[in-house]
Structure 1
Amino acid sequence: MSLSSQPPAAALVFQTLLTQGPLTRAELGRRTGLSSGAVTKVSTPLLADGWITEMGQPAGERQPGRPATLVAVRPERARFIGVKVTADELIGVAADLTATPLATRRTPLGSRDVGTVVRAIARLVARLADGGGGPAVHSVGVTISGDVDGHTGVVRYSPFLDWRGVRLADLVERATGVPTVIDNDVRALTVAEQWFGSGAGLSSFALVTVGAGIGCGISVGGRLVSGAHGVSGEIGHLPVGGALGSAQVCTCGNTGCVEAIASTQAIVDQAREETGDPGLTLAEAVRLAHSGDEAARAVFTRAGRALGLAIASVANLIGPERIIISGEGVASYDLFADQIRRSFTAQAFGTAAECDLVVRPLPFEAWARGGAAVAAQRLFAPAGAGPQSAS
């Protein structure tokens, strides 16, 4: 039985169990808004085909009459592979139905040529699929930075790979023989955080990533915002340079973007200029800033201001319960944390300033896990509409 062929009520029950279970049928009804009869009707084929299972009674509950039984998803029922593509490396994760990692692998990329990358993905998928036994891989989820259309499987533009119009989903599917979906890496990570991380159970949240690029995934009303044209949450391209006296040129070709001020490469470029050292590395810039070097600290201060303005814009626009800050750039978060908070508080309108800001360092394996989560999502939401609220 394919979950995608089941009625919407079955998908709702399955997703609620996936993200909030185990639950009794009565609690399932309360959380989904379905009647007890409807819950039983849609649960029966899911039980018969092994997607969900019955467990014992809830701990501590011994009530008269028919005892309540917990129902839960069977994580081992399906296996997925997520792949995060960076400019010089592939990170892969084999995961179960709950996106729990079963195996991880990394492999360097010798070239950014499309064919080379696709072949490297196929080899990585094969190695991950061979390990651990269990069911065959149901699908592969590949995540990549840039303008990625998950509906059509096309990478419209990825600046770090210099790709345009690449039909990546089709290419990987042909190379691996496994159904493949692709998505923007930040949106995929947001799906994983929505289901199993710091966004679980929230009606709205945003995930801001700081690193080679500045990205943002947004979840409102339990749905991931993916944009009518496949673009959303691109806060890295908000024009804040005017407010900061910066005219740095961004990879998109515009000037004054957040990404041109606060991405890791932008910080390195500015630190080299400010210190007069053309060979300065990021680690050395961080060390200089920590040691009190005013020129280096000024670069991180400006980056913090840009990020604070961008994060405040997210809070003002959607009013999320929480904004999660992650990405490889948070390793040096202490250097611009105070400035982020000050800029955010000054720019956030009214009670938007009360938004919970959470710093959550996540390794690239977690980003690859996002690819597995997107692949799992398409198991019962093939149209890519995103998870629905079960509240």
Structure 2
Amino acid sequence: MTLADQPPAAALVFRTLLAHGPLSRAETGRRTGLSPGAVTKAATGLLADGWIAEAVRPAAERAGGRPATPIAVRPQRARFIGIKVTSDELIGVLTDLTARPLAAGRAALGSRDVGAVVLAIGRLAARLRAADTPSDGDVGLVLGLAADTPSDGDAGIAADAVAAGDGRVYGVGVTLAGDVDGRTGTVQYSPFLDWRRVPLARLVEAATGTAAVIDNDVRALTVAEQWFGAGAGLSSFALVTVGAGIGCGISIGGRVVSGAYGVSGELGHLPVGGTDRTCTCGNTGCVEAVASAYAIADQAGEAVGEPGMTLEDAVRRAHAGDPAVRAVFARAGHAVGLALASVANLIGPERIIISGEGVAAYDLFAERIRHAFAAHAFGAAGDCDLVVRPLPFEQWARGAAAVAAQRLFAPAG
């Protein structure tokens, strides 16, 4: 039985245990607002089907006669695969029910053609499944990151030792940048892949033989930060990513905002003016037109008369003290700071987490970001905590797996 088949009270208990457990039944009731009888009934069904278990209490507590036996989610009860798609690579993880990574792998993309990418997703998912092979004592084999020999463009698989469950992969989550409608499973538009109206969830399901969920990559990373990252326990926070694009995930009241049409948090397309550069969306004046990795590299190349400059080249020139290139980073920092202030003014989050590939060069725009933020955040919104948090793409893939797990116990309506 899946969690979707459980009564609503059971799903509520499960979600509460996933976020806050282990908990006693009494504490579970307080957190959910359910009566003791409703908690007991819900827990009984979840226990019988193996979704939760009674946690083992320390010997000192047992000796002290404490009657309450906490209940907790059984991580090994289900597996999930999460895959992040970039313009040239797939990054994948296999996780347990709590999104703890069990295996990880990468695969190069030789083509951005939809069929080729879907085929590569299917192959990487199969390799991740194969890495999760239980041995004697129900413990998976431990493999080093480079222990598996790459083949056909696939990177090696890394597996942690984990207690085995039923071994079933319940869902595959796939995330990518762009306008992604998770409800219909459709990529409406992805500028970096040049995809339009691609029914990706259906295609991935056919390629993997497993239920698939797709979402915007930044929203999925926000789910991961909400579950087990810098957003855990906060009533509201925002995650802003600076890299190939400028993205934003928003969590309010414990829920990540997806928008009525799957579009939310498109911070990169907030107009900040000050430039006539054309953004990937076709407009001018967007944050992304000034502060994305490509925009910075392009502007730096123009500033010093070296067309084709890479971001890495621009970072080196800026660190070496080139005033023209440093000015490019300063303008980018100002635009990002204005965008962060807009987020703070609109939703008043407790924290804004700044991540993405661009944070590797954060020192080059940190001062201008904070100055612009302080100047434009209104009143107490300026007290918002700004946290810089570099996250590898495996964490983004973990967010994709978390979205797939979330769909298991909170199906889209």
Whether the TM-score (by the shorter chain) exceeds 0.5 is yes
Quote the residue 1:159 is aligned against: 191
1:112, distance to aligned residue in structure 2 (A): 0.3
Gaps of 5+ in 2: 134-163
2:84–2:176: 8 Å Cα contact kept in structure 1? yes
1:168 aligns with 2:200: yes
Partner of 1:131: 131
Pairing 1:336-351 to 2, within 5 Å after superposition: 336-351=365-380
Note the C-alpha offset of 1:9: 2.0
**Amino acid across the alignment from 2:87:** A
SS of 2:103's equivalent in the other structure is strand
2:265 is the counterpart of 1:233: yes
Question: SS where residue 90 of structure 2 aligns?
Answer: strand
Map of 1:319 onto structure 2: 348
Quote the offset at 1:279 in angstroms.
Answer: 3.4
**2:313 is matched with which residue?**
284
Do the aligned residues in 1 keep the contact of 2:278 with 2:285 (CA within 8 Å)? yes
Is residue 144 of structure 1 aligned with residue 144 of structure 2? no
* Alpha-carbon distance in 1 for matches of 2:258, 2:206: 26
Cα RMSD for the two superposed structures = 1.4
Name the CA shift for 1:326/1:10 in 2 (closer, same or farther; >3 Å): same
Structure 1 length-normalised TM: 0.95
CA deviation after TM superposition for structure 1 residue 59, in Å: 8.1
Q: CA deviation at 1:63?
A: 9.4
**Equivalent residue runs for 1:7-46 within 5 Å:** 7-46=7-46
What is the alpha-carbon distance in structure 1 between the residues aligned to residue 8 and residue 235 of structure 2?
Answer: 20
Matched residue type, 1:116: A
For 1:231, give the aligned amino acid: V
d(CA) in 1 for partners of 2:190, 2:410: 26
C-alpha separation between the residues in 2 aligned to 1:77 and 1:62? 26
Q: Is the 8 A contact 1:324 1:358 kept in 2?
A: yes
Map of 2:86 onto structure 1 = 86
Corresponding residue to 1:363 among 365, 371, 392: 392
Q: Is the 8 A contact 2:242 2:355 kept in 1?
A: yes
CA displacement at 1:290 relative to structure 2? 1.2
Q: Give deviations 1:270-329, integer Å, cap 9, x for gaps.
A: 000111111322112111111211101001100100000001111100001111111111
Structure 2 CA distance, aligned partners of 1:62 and 1:366?
Answer: 38
Percent identical pairs in the alignment equals 75
Matches within 5 A, 1:50-129: 50-57=50-57, 61=61, 67-129=67-129
Shift of residue 56, structure 1, vs aligned partner: 2.8
CA distance in 1, matches of 2:47, 2:56: 15
Deviation at 1:35, TM superposition (A): 2.0
Offset, 1:61: 4.7
Who is 1:206 aligned against? 238
Question: What's the offset of the Cα at 1:8?
Answer: 2.2
What CA distance in whole angstroms lies between the structure 2 residues aligned with 1:231 and 1:356? 25
Structure 1 alignment gaps of length 5 or more? 385-391
What letter matches 1:327 in structure 2? G
Equivalent position of 1:309 in the other structure: 338
> Which among 297, 300, 303 is matched to residue 271 of structure 1?
300
Provide Cα deviations, 1:66-89, integer angstroms capped at 9, x if missing partner: 611111111010000000000000
Matched, 1:381 2:413: no
SS of 2:264's equivalent in the other structure is coil
Deviation at 1:248, TM superposition (A): 1.1
Q: Does the 8 Å CA contact 2:298/2:308 hold for their aligned counterparts?
A: no
Indicate yes or no: 2:209 matched with 1:180.
no
Contact 1:58/1:68 (<8 A) preserved: no
- SS of aligned partner of 2:279: coil
Aligned to 1:196: 228
For CA contacts below 8 A with separation 6 or more, give which structure has more relative contact order: 1
Partner SS for 1:92: strand
User: Is residue 353 of structure 2 the alignment partner of residue 353 of structure 1?
Assistant: no
TM-score normalised by length of structure 2: 0.90
1:65 is displaced (CA, Å) by 6.8
Contact kept? 1:57, 1:67, Cα under 8 Å: no
- The equivalent residue for 1:221 is 253
